[in-house]
């Protein structure tokens, strides 16, 4: 799949933002005016900024509001509704906590649950797609939730939860990469199943569908070399998981915490690029891709 910048920003930043809101909803931060204000401001900037970035991938961004009308069948629409509801609930919670000093625990817990469900809905946009076997797996949901909670814990200063979540998510990510490499072949989808002609013998394309590119070849037939993918995977593991965990284990320091956040964010962008670049859509078989 084509790794569009707007979708990479969306999946990376919104996940971090709602991960922060989860921990903030549980009351994990120093309850002073400026600390609370800054933490909630950062969480909302990431959440809302990521959601807005996703609209730039639409052919007509001005029609984004129409996405809210398909909540019965579309996980994208459900995500939009859940995000708005969660942001509204957490807005009330934040206002009461920051400006009035009132910790409305049930409201915060409700917002924390809403944050998790919103991230899950985001993951289902991709995990539901049977046409992309690499995504159509439980690891997609786990990775979205793990990166959101781990990154959110890192940004809110929940040190040990961040360490545990980042290490466990890294393990799932390695498994997802290794198992995902074989998932298209294991799905049993090929030219024969696509055409229904397998019963009469081997099926191959007589000639290319057309001589020029089109929307499908641009969006769904992106190819990244396996050798380059392996290098990027190692970079993502080091930046996104190993170095942040190592820095968190050192004596507490604001500078080290900022460095850990910056490294994790860099690794997260590499992870998201790979998430799309390595995903093989079955339509690629029609265009001769393997």
CA distance 25 to 29: 10
pLDDT score at 202: 79
* Exposure on the CB side of residue 83, measured as CA atoms within 13 A: 28
pLDDT score at 290: 53
Containing structural domain, residue 260:
5-287
The separation between the first and the last C-alpha atoms of the chain, rounded to the nearest angstrom, is 13
pLDDT score at 192: 76
**CA nearest 27: which of 116, 85, 115, 104?**
104
Three-class secondary structure assignment of the chain: CCCCHHHHHHHHHHHHHHHHHHHHHCCCCCCCHHHHHHHHHHHHHHHHHHHHHHHHHCCCHHHHHHHHHHCCCCHHHHHHHHHHHHHHHHHHHHHHHHHHCCCCHHHHHHHHHHHHHHHHHHHHHHHCCCCCCCCCCHHHHHHHHHHHHHHHHHHHCCHHHHHHHHHHHHHHHHHHHHHHCCHHHHCCCCHHHHHCCHHHCCCCCCCCCCCCCCHHHHHHCCCCCHHHHHHHHHHHHHHHHHHHHHHHCCCCCHHHHHHHHHHHHHHHHHHHHHHHHCCCCHHHHHHCCC
pLDDT score at 269: 97
pLDDT score at 91: 96
Query: Could you read off the pLDDT tens digit of each residue along the chain, which spans 290 residues?
Result: 778 888 999 999 999 999 999 999 998 765 567 888 999 999 999 999 999 888 776 666 666 677 788 888 889 999 999 999 999 999 999 999 988 888 899 999 999 999 999 999 999 999 999 889 999 999 999 999 999 999 999 999 999 999 999 999 999 999 999 998 888 777 777 777 766 777 787 777 776 666 666 766 666 677 776 678 899 999 999 999 999 999 999 998 889 999 999 999 999 999 999 999 888 887 777 766 65
Read off the tokens for 21.
């809101």
Number of domain units in the chain = 1
CA distance 131 to 114: 29
CA distance 166 to 244: 9
Buried b (16+ CB within 10 A) or exposed e, 73-89: ebbbbbbbebbeebbeb
pLDDT score at 55: 79
Report the 10 Å Cβ neighbour count for 105. Answer: 12
Total residues found in the chain within this entry: 290
CA distance 54 to 75: 14
pTM score above 0.85 = yes
**CA nearest 64: which of 74, 54, 79?**
54
Read off the tokens for 219.
């969006």
| CATH number for 126 | 1.20.1630.10
Residues 6+ apart with CB under 8 A from 215: none
């Amino acid at each position: 799949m084509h790794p569009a910048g707007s979708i990479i920003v969306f999946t990376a930043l919104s996940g971090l933002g709602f991960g922060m809101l989860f921990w903030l909803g549980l009351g994990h931060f120093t309850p002073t005016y400026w600390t609370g204000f800054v933490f909630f401001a950062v969480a909302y900037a990431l959440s809302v900024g990521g959601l807005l970035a996703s609209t730039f991938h639409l052919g007509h961004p001005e029609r984004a509001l129409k996405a809210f009308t398909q909540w019965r069948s579309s996980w994208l629409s459900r995500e939009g509704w859940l995000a708005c509801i969660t942001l509204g609930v957490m807005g009330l919670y934040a206002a009461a906590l920051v400006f009035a000093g009132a910790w409305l625990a049930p409201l915060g817990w409700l917002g924390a649950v809403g944050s998790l469900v919103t991230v899950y809905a985001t993951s289902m946009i991709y995990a539901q797609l049977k046409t992309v076997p690499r995504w159509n797996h439980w690891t997609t949901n786990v990775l979205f939730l793990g990166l959101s909670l781990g990154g959110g814990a890192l940004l809110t200063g929940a040190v040990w939860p961040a360490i545990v979540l980042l290490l466990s998510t890294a393990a799932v990510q390695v498994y997802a990469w290794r198992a995902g490499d074989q998932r298209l072949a294991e799905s049993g989808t090929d030219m024969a199943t696509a055409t229904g002609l397998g019963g009469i013998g081997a099926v191959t394309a007589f000639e290319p569908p057309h001589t020029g590119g089109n929307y499908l070849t641009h969006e769904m037939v992106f190819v990244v070399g396996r050798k380059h993918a392996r290098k990027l995977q190692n970079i993502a593991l080091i930046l996104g998981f190993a170095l942040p965990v190592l820095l968190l284990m050192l004596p507490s320091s604001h500078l080290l915490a900022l460095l850990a956040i910056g490294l994790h964010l860099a690794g997260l962008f590499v992870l998201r690029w790979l998430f799309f670049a390595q995903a093989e859509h079955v339509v690629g078989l029609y265009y001769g891709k393997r």
